[in-house]
Structure 1
């Protein structure tokens, strides 16, 4: 029931939805996000408020043997007492006791509608929906829970529903073995948390991410040993700081964690000591964008290659096989 303040509401709900039918948003998690958008999700019944909690988790290190401790009303507040140590009692308010069920089916419909998909999503298997087509002649499927994405028969069911069209699956983060199975089956797997938020719309899927990048000559070539960078065949002149930042973003883009936070960037450029940080990370990002755009035929498009998502950091939007990062 901990609160993760740094996440956007969309990212938080998608992360919690990975649990499947039991997906629940607790009041303490919801507090930073209460407002008009939260009320809209309640009105749309993406979030369904449940009865106030009557129990609270026990202390992490407690040996009381209880599964949960009862919540007790004390005047105008609530207490979840620890049976062993009253110093570990938890004081709660009304918002803490609230909880909301996340309706995965309604959320999938919200994603489809925000993405401009006209048809109603079609349930293919439990927790798996055929969304339709978006931006390419590919059949797009959506899944929010990890267990649904790993159920037997999924690949066969999607192929049958796709009727010969190539398949894209928008899914939560999956283990390497499952990702490899989808790749071997020719299914393009897209992380749902990375794909939403297109053009500033909270739940809209980015059409450009729904089709695999066509393998060819890498667009970005970085040689670390000689500090050389070329983008689309054009040599780029970078400062020491912007070169370090580009290497960091390129390495992240080729791995499983594409985003680099402000702290990641500071550590890469200035080391572990905060006292050595001489300028904001966003200024280095801005300088890198301009350095890459200099001489480009479409400078605005090049600037957009470095993307910022609220509370997640910056990432390089090039596909992994479009980047040649060598020593």
Structure 2
């Protein structure tokens, strides 16, 4: 039922509601539990019913009437098209987004309150294996550079797994290239003997993915290294961006003459200033020297693998 409610919420937005008729497919005990937990919030009963799908009566809805002991959605043109209803059919329920997310997290043994990371993205918690688990309403929101940066900031240096409703192969590959694992919700849910769904987080094993350590955003002119925000001046950001873009080339060394031409300053001086700026951002001197490596006689390069570098628009 948790998966079904999350799909309704993902497709219908925060104002999505469900009918008593739709809930009859689920165990009564589970529905009552979600009502007590205020995941489902009962609203005013329906006083009309949808029109026949195969008729055009000109009405937006059918009136509901008690006819003897029967409850009917009445067709104004054809009595034979009247639809018999049950009292529960008229019940309507809203879905509390935050409480549903908490219920999904709790079903997997995560008791801490979920945290909003970005619009449509929540951090459910951290597993004993160290994985940070996120829940996403729509993978399209993940393609925004700002969302990916917010995800990495929330996870720090921990591995990231995002659970979402639907996952197409292209999106999965894009996320994996960015060091993020993604799983569909149905893949992560088990149903117990009572028909109740549980998030099976033990299925989220560590996968050998090289998560980017250095993440740059061109549009935001922001940089992060090992989960630490680097507050760099525009000149220093432009230089570290040159190093990051060069790291993906066949020759990862940024030549001294290229640095001189791009920055208008001697390579040794501006690289020295970059290392000082990195120390000012909280890196140790040794870490700054290890990140910007001197290649004697040629120039400088990043001291991390290309797969550990991500440059986003």
Scaled by the length of structure 2, what TM-score is found?
0.57
Measure, in 2, the Cα distance between the counterparts of 1:199 and 1:69: 40
1:45 and 1:103 in contact (8 A); partners too: yes
1:15 to 7, 21, 35: 7
1:18 and 1:146 in contact (8 A); partners too: yes
Measure, in 1, the Cα distance between the counterparts of 2:163 and 2:52: 37
Query: 1:50-85 CA deviation, whole Å, 9 max, x = no partner?
Result: 111122222222223443323233344332222343
2:172 and 2:181 in contact (8 A); partners too: no
2:126 and 2:132 in contact (8 A); partners too: yes
1:207 aligns with 2:201: yes
Structure 2 residue aligned with 1:95? 88
Q: Judging changes above 3 Å, is the alpha-carbon distance between structure 1 residues 162 and 213 closer, same or farther for their aligned structure 2 residues?
A: closer
1:189 aligns with 2:200: no
Structure 1 residue matching 2:117: 3-state secondary structure: strand
1:128 to 121, 140, 143: 121
Unmatched 5+ stretches in structure 1: 1-8, 216-327
Structure with greater strand share of residues = 2
Measure, in 2, the Cα distance between the counterparts of 1:200 and 1:185: 38
Structure 2 residue aligned with 1:67? 60
Q: Displacement of 1:35 after TM fit?
A: 2.4
In the TM superposition, 1:224-263 aligns within 5 A as none
Q: Displacement of 1:213 after TM fit?
A: 4.2
Measure, in 2, the Cα distance between the counterparts of 1:39 and 1:209: 29
Measure, in 1, the Cα distance between the counterparts of 2:163 and 2:68: 48
Q: Judging changes above 3 Å, is the alpha-carbon distance between structure 1 residues 179 and 80 closer, same or farther for their aligned structure 2 residues?
A: farther
Q: Displacement of 1:107 after TM fit?
A: 1.6
Query: 1:109-162 CA deviation, whole Å, 9 max, x = no partner?
Result: 12222322242111112332111211421211113x338856844322211211
